[in-house]
């Protein structure tokens, strides 16, 4: 649900009500762009840009009892740190195919597809988006991804899309208003 | 007040006239985004993006006699350095709850709520925004924050929102025009 | 072809059908901006911002049999790493004049101008854009570049322009739909 | 002159024709934002974002015989490197007041105010903008700066504003068309 938007369509709210696990892609979804910093020794390290509103949303999601996680093809200490800051439970980096991790997460969490939301932006996300109970595409996702999503965020990936997904779920579950007072300052 | 805008509503100007202390959140307000740089040793360090117009505004605010400060949930040397460059008096990092620091600042500054302006963007800022004499929300603040603010900036957080707050205050106090000639080049 | 766009003009499709090699400029085309990080020893190193959609597109291009490469005037480990991640075949950095490398690539690839697409954004790209079978300008290219291009992307350089070029070529060649299922997650 | 724009007003062209020296501010003008990277030892170093079109423009300006330079309140190796890449002649960093350097540059260059163009974005630039023959404000300059400028660029500072200034000058001097063929690839 975009910030300020008031009504969630009944069909979408029904899907969102059942969500217990919120998973997401990283590059183009939770993070904006792929940044590489050259080092004097001729190698390059990765820089990631995250959104504070996404961070606040993910922390509130945890407080509200949602379980969260990420599945990404790349790997970097920056993502590891951000996942830890957000208190994420399922962190799968360096994954070529996302379905295997997804199955593992289902098993660990003890839930079925209907209880999972997944946020993605590009073609490798399609297999998961076709299975989960709530498929979310970021605002600048590939056309093929938007076409199969139940919900497309207003924000672009890495710029608040995750926050919209969190608000959609918590508002549908009637938990958002209660969360506002529980928001803490650190370390989003 | 947005750059170029001419009139400040009387009710808003009345609030702004009384401000002696300008406080603000960091991530999403004074700084844009949360950037993490991976390091070869597997850790990650923080990068912060600030706005030169905000910097110039904060330095002018100090020259004009306003006292300034920040309260944030995260902590990083980048913020420490920026606060020093801006000659800030109240610098509170790594704060889970903002109200305790706020009370301390009131006491140190010897002022009451009415003399304080606070600029924020998200839910943890709400308790302070509800108390201060002048509550400012950045242009891309959460809906809940915008709703209770006395003033919403045109600029997004980290992209000139603080400058607008400074101009609003100094213009309301009749000090802005005199400041223009006092603007120096370093180190905004 | 912009994402979501449906029809490719016949004349443009005819050009795109013949492409076997996709070449591009880096700064302003594959990467956004020129970022320099100061180091404590007084030197500065380069940071590059790439787009995940471009990365996914370039990897799909390789999977579909297109040969890819870049020609740039600057040089940095960040570009070397990104080229390797994208499995690029032709990587020419630190080139003052682009025509010499281009000739070399033609020879190595065993193709003529008509089989090459080139994406660029500024004046030094003009000599190549005038020769290749498919000349692509990024959305924020210089006016002189846009004027001679066969196709101008919707996206700005470094923000998805390369992905549009890849989609234009693969869709014209009837290979795009088949690629969607082959998209993998790493390491775009 | 914005890219693609065709006519330069006669009065503006007259000013631009006389320019021999092109000077500029850095933060908010040649560079976008102020970025600080935290280091493990508790200090922070500076990162600067430059625009490739600006770089190409500045190099062409040099080729066309314009002398170039910058005056800034901050200081960083990143700016030093960029100035060297652009082959700048006048590089003044860490300057609190800009007028002293400006006088020195006039003397070194052996020119008067009428032969100088200056590009700026904020209050400390006003004293110079009031003196030079061609005063240019970037697209997102402070209202006070735009008001006194002879020309306001379409692009924001750090995103192509300098390129517009260069094109305005070289086109007014009838040198732009001849420069297009002289554009080289490195190292913008």
CA distance C104 to chain A (A): 26
Nearest by CB to A77, which of B38, B95, B122? B38
| Chain A neighbors of B140, CB-CB under 8 A | 53, 160
Q: Does 3.40.50.1000 match the CATH number of domain D10-180?
A: yes
pLDDT tens by residue, chain B, 188 residues: 344 456 899 999 999 999 999 999 999 999 998 999 998 899 999 999 999 999 999 999 999 999 999 999 999 999 999 999 999 999 999 998 899 999 999 999 999 999 999 999 999 999 999 999 999 999 999 999 999 999 999 999 999 999 999 999 999 999 999 988 888 765 65
The pLDDT of residue D181: 83
Nearest by CB to B51, which of D33, D143, D144? D33
A184 pLDDT band, cuts 50/70/90, is confident
**Computed from CA positions of residues B138, B140, B144, B150, in that sequence, does the dihedral angle turn out positive or negative?**
positive
pLDDT digits (tens, 9 = 90+) for A82-125: 999 999 999 999 998 899 999 999 999 999 999 999 999 999 99
Q: Do C45 and A47 touch (CB under 8 A)?
A: no
Nearest by CB to B36, which of A32, A53, A78? A78
Mean pLDDT of D13-34: 97
Q: Do B46 and D38 touch (CB under 8 A)?
A: yes
Q: Is C10 on the interface with D (CB under 8 A)?
A: no
The pLDDT of residue C186: 57
Count of other CB atoms within 10 angstroms of residue D107 = 9
With a CB cutoff of 8 Å and minimum separation 6, the contacts of A9 are none
| Chain C neighbors of A45, CB-CB under 8 A | none
The pLDDT of residue D1: 37
The pLDDT of residue B2: 41
Chain C residues 145-174 with a CB less than 8 Å from chain A: 160
Instruction: Report strand pairing: A90-92 vs A116-120.
Output: unpaired
Q: How far apart are the C-alpha atoms of D100 and A115, rounded to whole Å? A: 67
The pLDDT of residue B188: 58
Chain B interface mutation, best of A1, A52, A87, highest count of B Cβ atoms under 10 Å:
A52
D2 pLDDT band, cuts 50/70/90, is very low
Look at residue A174 and tell me whether its pLDDT is greater than 60: yes
Q: Which chains neighbour D (Cβ–Cβ under 8 Å, 3 or more pairs)?
A: B, C
Q: Which of A69, A78, A89 is nearest to A35 (CA)?
A: A78
With a CB cutoff of 8 Å and minimum separation 6, the contacts of C181 are none
Q: Is D121 on the interface with B (CB under 8 A)?
A: yes
Query: Which one is the CATH code of C10-174: 1.10.620.20, 1.10.760.10, 3.40.50.300, 3.40.50.1000?
Result: 3.40.50.1000
Q: Do D97 and B55 touch (CB under 8 A)?
A: no
Q: Could you give the C-alpha distances from C49 to B23, C35, C69, D58, in angstroms and in order? A: 33, 8, 18, 22
* Percent of chain C's residues with pLDDT above 70: 95
- Residue C38, classed as helix, strand or coil, is strand
A98 near A72, Cβ under 8 Å?
no
Q: Do C81 and A142 touch (CB under 8 A)?
A: no
Mean pLDDT of A27-39: 93
* Residue A104 backbone zone (phi > 0: left; psi -120 to 50: alpha; other: beta): alpha
Q: Is B77 on the interface with D (CB under 8 A)?
A: yes
Q: Does 3.40.50.300 match the CATH number of domain B10-179?
A: no
The pLDDT of residue A187: 62
Look at residue C3 and tell me whether its pLDDT is greater than 60: no
The pLDDT of residue D69: 98
B153 near B2, Cβ under 8 Å?
yes
Mean of the per-residue pLDDT values for chain D?
Answer: 93
Give the ranges where B42-160 is alpha helix by DSSP (H): 52-63, 77-85, 98-109, 126-129, 143-148
Q: How far apart are the C-alpha atoms of C46 and A68, rounded to whole Å? A: 34
**Would you report the helix, strand and coil content of chain B in percent, each value rounded to 5?**
40, 20, 40
- A42, closest residue in chain C (CA to CA): C77
Give C154-180 as a DSSP string.
Answer: SSPTTTTHHHHHHHHHHHHTT-HHHHH
Q: Is A188 on the interface with B (CB under 8 A)?
A: yes
Q: How far apart are the C-alpha atoms of B110 and A157, rounded to whole Å? A: 44
User: What strand order describes the sheet that includes B151-152?
Assistant: B90-92, B67-71, B21-24, B116-120, B134-137, B151-152
Mean of the per-residue pLDDT values for chain C?
Answer: 93
pLDDT digits (tens, 9 = 90+) for C119-159: 999 999 999 999 999 999 999 999 999 999 999 999 999 99
pLDDT digits (tens, 9 = 90+) for D31-87: 998 999 999 899 999 999 999 999 999 999 999 999 999 999 999 999 999 999 999
Q: Could you give the C-alpha distances from A17 to A53, A64, A109, A173, in angstroms and in order? A: 22, 13, 17, 5
C4 pLDDT band, cuts 50/70/90, is very low
A183 pLDDT band, cuts 50/70/90, is confident
The pLDDT of residue D183: 84
Q: Do D4 and C124 touch (CB under 8 A)?
A: no
Q: How far apart are the C-alpha atoms of D20 and D68, rounded to whole Å? A: 9
pLDDT digits (tens, 9 = 90+) for D114-134: 999 999 999 999 999 999 999
**Would you report the helix, strand and coil content of chain A in percent, each value rounded to 5?**
40, 20, 40
Q: How far apart are the C-alpha atoms of C156 and C33, rounded to whole Å? A: 11
Q: How far apart are the C-alpha atoms of B53 and B158, rounded to whole Å? A: 10
C40 pLDDT band, cuts 50/70/90, is confident
The pLDDT of residue B186: 58
A154 phi and psi, to 5 degrees?
Answer: -75, -40
Domain ranges of chain C: 10-174
C96 pLDDT band, cuts 50/70/90, is confident
Element (H, E) at D163: helix D161-172
C46 near C35, Cβ under 8 Å?
yes
Instruction: Report strand pairing: A32-38 vs C44-50.
Output: antiparallel
CA distance B153 to chain A (A): 16
- Residue D74, classed as helix, strand or coil, is coil
Report residue A165 as tokens: 């997904």
The pLDDT of residue B90: 98
pLDDT digits (tens, 9 = 90+) for A152-169: 999 999 999 999 999 999
Element (H, E) at B169: helix B161-172
A70 near A102, Cβ under 8 Å?
no
ipTM of the complex: 0.91
Nearest by CB to B73, which of A78, A160, A186? A186
Q: Is D84 on the interface with C (CB under 8 A)?
A: no
Q: Could you give the C-alpha distances from D186 to B33, C72, C122, D129, in angstroms and in order? A: 32, 7, 12, 31
Element (H, E) at C63: helix C52-63
Report residue B83 as tokens: 């606060």
């Amino acid at each position: 649900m975009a910030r300020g938007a008031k009504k969630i369509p009944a069909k979408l709210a029904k899907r969102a009500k059942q969500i217990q696990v919120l998973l997401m892609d990283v590059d183009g979804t939770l993070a904006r762009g792929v940044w590489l910093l050259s080092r004097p020794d001729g190698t390059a390290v990765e820089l990631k840009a995250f959104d504070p509103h996404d961070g606040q949303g993910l922390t509130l999601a945890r407080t509200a009892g949602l379980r969260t996680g990420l599945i990404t093809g790349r790997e970097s200490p920056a993502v590891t740190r951000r996942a830890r800051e957000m208190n994420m439970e399922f962190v799968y980096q360096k994954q070529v195919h996302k379905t295997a991790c997804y199955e593992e997460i289902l098993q660990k969490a003890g839930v079925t597809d209907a209880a999972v939301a997944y946020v993605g932006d590009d073609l490798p996300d399609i297999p998961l988006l076709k299975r989960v109970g709530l498929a979310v595409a970021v605002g600048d996702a590939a056309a093929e991804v938007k076409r199969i999503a139940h919900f497309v965020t207003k924000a672009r990936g890495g710029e608040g899309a995750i926050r919209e997904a969190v608000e959609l779920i918590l508002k549908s579950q009637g938990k958002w208003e209660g969360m506002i007072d529980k928001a803490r300052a650190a370390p989003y």
